[in-house]
Structure 1
Amino acid sequence: MKPHLSEGANCHNCGAIVSGNFCAACGQGTTLHVASAREFLHEFIGHYIALEGKLWQSLALLLFRPGRLTTEYIAGRRARYVQPLRIYLTFSILFFALLKFGPHQLIEKDALASQTTTASEPGKVRVTTNLGTINPAWEARVHQIAAMPKSQSIGLFKSIFFSYVPYVMFLLMPVFALYLKLLYLGSGRHYGEHMLFALHSNAFAFLMLGLIQSVPWTWLNTALMLWLLAYLPVAMQRVYGGRKLATGVRWAVLMSIYVITAAAVITGTLFAASVVF
């Protein structure tokens, strides 16, 4: 039997007097027991992945109706869909997991295995930098990495990449939204709306890239890549309106500056993580 708090007892969470199956003050259930493995799994799937209905409705709009999920959220129809931050985190985590452990990894295991420790002999690598004028320790670290066997340097790169880049991409979401804000100055849109669009559009990008990473058929990969390229301007048109030519120009500017920003930030992060820290 599962112990149940009696009428007039106090909630173990907030201390309020309870009546019924749930506390009226904080919402915690009054049936108290140690959860089984099945209940833990149900909670994870039902509440964190939102698999029971919300995920499928959100996926349908995210995949096939560019910008519609954002307009639905702005219009106040939110309870039926997965929250924007959750859907972004879900697909970004899945993408980086596929990139690390999937069939087409960033660095193939076989390629690593084929590298012997004598592939790059210490002392034969020559690297010239000006880092010594800034910090001699940085230049020493660069020479140390350059002298590593290739398999070891690749392993170091993979470790740093998967330790930092997922967080970098998440922290770039406000930058993506800021660029949208600047491109649509005078539209009356609040920054939060641009942030919402950034989360949805980047969640779609991670989902598509994850599918491209997983499917083995070239023709399907090509179709997915074309849909990925076409998706953002269509979504921008639906959410922000305006002339299609103006939307196309904004899309080109947005992608140019964002790709440059992301490349610079990721490169700087990888350098700092491997050399500076």
Structure 2
Amino acid sequence: MNELKPSPALHCANCEAVLQGEFCHECGQSIHSVLKPVSHMLEDAGDIFFHMDERIIHTVPPLYTKPGFLTLEYFSGRRVRYIAPFRLMFVFCLLCFFFIHLAISGSKLGESSGEQDSISAFATAETADDVHEQYRAQIRDVLATEKDPNVPAPARMGLAAARGVIREAANRRLAELKAPLIPAEVGENDPDAVKLKHDDFMSRHDAVDIGWLPAAVNARLTTGVEHLKLNLALLSNHGPQRKEAVARIVEGVFGVLPQTMFVMIPVFALVLKLFYVFRRRLYVEHLIVALHSHAFIFFALLLITLLGYAKGAIGPHVPFAGGVIGVVSFAMWVWIPVYLLIMQKRVYRQGWGMTILKYWLIGSVYFWLLMFALTIAIIIGISH
């Protein structure tokens, strides 16, 4: 008879302990090799980032349709089948700001339709006399504004640059008509050298020097103040650099918005703690409420933004479908405050009267705190 022989035991490649499962009980290293095809690596990356498995099915639908459900499940200890609150909020926060940023960037923010129409009007001129007439009319308006004593100095410099932009547009059309070009006027700034023209304006301000801050921080603040003043000055221009300034500001604002919200979430949890101090709940419980509520808000805004994309693509071709999308978007906007009210009622289990009162007070306090934080974020964005 053949004798039964025990199978050789597997040992951990890291500490050589005998393995009894998929992970070493001594050092915790997985038995699976990291040398995998690219498809497996992408699957692992998705799992690390969002737990891309059945947890999505169990988490996302109730997050949007069942106010307070995920929070109560988390408090009850039933957590393994759901995505963790912070990861849920983190992912939807990034996706939300990403698509809103795309929507704002696609709207050509910072371009004035009137300005574009006035510049492009030269292309419709049929004769050199028409070009000169349009040029005189536009320059007359700019000069009238430039001579106004109430207009600040940076704006006047921007208007001087705008005169150069108008002249260049007129000269392009005159060149096409093979007519003599319009010479530069006295006091007209080169639109491509606006930054140099602001040196006097910016040099009047000393460098930031706060004694209790490190030199590197003071230097960064000084640079930020210079960028802020330059961007503000360029915003008053009507030339091509205005669009670049707006683009820099938008990039700067959206660069700090996620960090701003990460700071505001524990602040919101602290507000909840203060208003429910007699409920004897731990701060961590309020933090879970804050994470789930913000995850819902980010997810709702993400869906509304995506519906906006769909309406822009379908509406011009199928007006009825665009109208339906508009109604659905409006209902989703209404659902956000209703959801938060129901969630607060279910989680903290107080009467409707007290819940509505605290909902209004908490919302008011958090609104002003959020406005303050967003103002700081905008200032940082302008100094980008």
TM-score, normalised relative to structure 1: 0.83
Contact 2:59/2:70 (<8 A) preserved: yes
Higher helix fraction (1 or 2): 2
Q: Counterpart of 1:193?
A: 285
**Distance in structure 1 (CA, Å) of the matches to 2:375 and 2:12:** 55
Amino acid corresponding to residue 44 of structure 1 in structure 2: A
Q: Deviations over 1:206-239 (max 9, x none)?
A: 0001111111210110111111120111000000
Pick closer, same or farther for the CA change 1:146–1:41 going to 2, 3 Å: same
Instruction: Name the structure 2 match of 1:28.
Output: 29
Residue 277 of structure 2: SS of its match in structure 1? coil
SS in 1 for 2:157: coil
Change (3 A) 1:55 1:142: closer
What is the rounded CA distance, in whole Å, between the counterparts of 1:98 and 1:185 in structure 2?
Answer: 38
1:201 aligned partner, one-letter code: S
CA contact (8 A) 2:92 2:295 kept: yes
Structure 2 counterpart of 1:264, one-letter code: F
2:57 is aligned to 56
Q: Tell whether the 8 Å contact from 1:45 to 1:51 is kept in structure 2 after alignment.
A: yes
Higher mean Cα deviation, 134-143 or 233-242? 134-143
Query: What amino acid does structure 2 have at the position aligned with 1:98?
Result: F
Establish whether residue 89 from structure 1 lines up as the match of residue 123 from structure 2.
no
The gaps in structure 1 that reach 5 residues or longer are: 1-5
Out of 7, 11, 14, the position equivalent to 2:13 is 11
Please give the residue correspondences for 1:261-272 in structure 2 after superposition, counting only pairs within 5 Å: 261-272=369-380
Q: Is the 8 A contact 1:11 1:18 kept in 2?
A: no
Q: Which one-letter code corresponds to 1:108 in the other structure? A: G
* Displacement of 1:16: 4.5
In the other structure, the counterpart of 1:224 is: 332
Counterpart of 1:38, as a letter, is S
2:275 is aligned to 183
| Partner AA of 1:179 in structure 2 | V
Q: CA deviation at 1:56?
A: 1.2
Percent of aligned pairs with the same amino acid: 24
Does the C-alpha gap of structure 1 residues 123 and 87 become closer, same or farther in structure 2, counting only changes over 3 Å? Answer: same
**CA-CA distance at 1:260 after TM superposition:** 1.0
- Structure 1 190/153 Cα, relative in aligned 2: closer, same or farther at 3 Å? same
Are 1:144 and 2:230 counterparts?
A: yes
Shift of 1:54: 1.0
Q: Is the 8 A contact 1:21 1:31 kept in 2?
A: no
Question: In 2, distance between residues paired with 1:107 and 1:257?
Answer: 31
**Could you tell me which amino acid in structure 2 is paired with residue 106 of structure 1?**
I
Q: Is the 8 A contact 1:177 1:194 kept in 2?
A: yes
Alpha carbons 1:16, 1:25 under 8 Å: kept:
no
Tell me what 1:123 maps to. 157
| 1:248 paired residue number | 356
- How many angstroms apart in 2 are the aligned matches of 1:21 and 1:241? 44
Choose the corresponding residue for 1:209, options 289, 298, 301. 301
The alpha-carbon deviation at position 24 of structure 1 amounts to 2.4
Aligned positions, number: 263
SS in structure 2 of the partner of residue 78 of structure 1? coil
Q: State the AA in 1 paired with 2:334.
A: L
Residue number in structure 1 paired with 2:169: none
Task: Calculate the aligned-residue CA RMSD, in Å.
Answer: 3.2
- Larger Rg belongs to: 2
Shift of 1:20: 5.2
Question: Displacement, 1:132?
Answer: 5.6
- Name the counterpart of 2:322: none
Shift of residue 21 of structure 1? 5.6
Output the CA distance in 2 between the equivalents of 1:78 and 1:140.
49
Aligned to 1:3: none
Give the TM-score of the pair, scaled to structure 2. 0.61
Q: 1:231 to 1:187 in 2, by over 3 A?
A: same
Select between 230-239 and 151-160 the one with higher mean Cα deviation.
151-160
Q: Decide whether the 8 Å contact of 2:252 with 2:380 is kept in 1.
A: no
| Matched position secondary structure for 1:77 | coil
Query: What residue in structure 2 maps to residue 164 of structure 1?
Result: 256
Contact 1:20-1:30 at 8 Å conserved across structures: no
Aligned with residue 106 of structure 2, among 102, 105, 108: 108
One-letter amino acid matched to 2:17: I
Q: Provide the residue aligned with 2:128 in structure 1.
A: none
CA contact (8 A) 1:88 1:203 kept: yes
Distance 1:134-1:260 versus aligned 2 partners, 3 A rule: farther
